[in-house]
Structure 1
Amino acid sequence: MATQIRRKKKFVADGIFYAELNEVLTRELAEDGYVGAEVRVTTTEEVVTNISKKEEASPAMGGGVGGEGEKGSTKTKQ
């Protein structure tokens, strides 16, 4: 039973972290075309974030309708 509660608390804490991170990045990077962030925790306890923004690109380069594509950057924190 205690394991179930800890697991629920972890999911809630993770969700709050992702929501707060997205809120801060949206506020700071909105005018630059912020789309979203991806956070992954690896086995070595590193947090990897991928922040993407829409940028003009040709459809041949992976751009979508109207020539919009995504460009991402990756940051690693240990």
Structure 2
Amino acid sequence: MVKRLSVVNLENFKRQYARRRWKLSFRIVALCNHLTRIMKKGQNRSEHDGRDCESDQEEEIMKRRPRTRKRSSTS
């Protein structure tokens, strides 16, 4: 009976470990996608900003707004 309980625990451990690895890989892919989006956004801005005027600073201030952070549904 003791042996059987340890086998079940080992199976649960393997399942939990596989889920943990999958979550970690998912988070890494999401981070890479996020960084790619940021880099593309930065390239578009640098190509778009070919001029150097005082009014540009005012436009940048108007474009900026605080972003709300999304809460994670997983714990």
TM-score, normalised to structure 1's length?
Answer: 0.43
Greater relative contact order (CA < 8 Å, ≥ 6 in sequence)? 1
Larger radius of gyration: 2
- Structure with greater helix share of residues: 2
- Structure with greater strand share of residues: 1
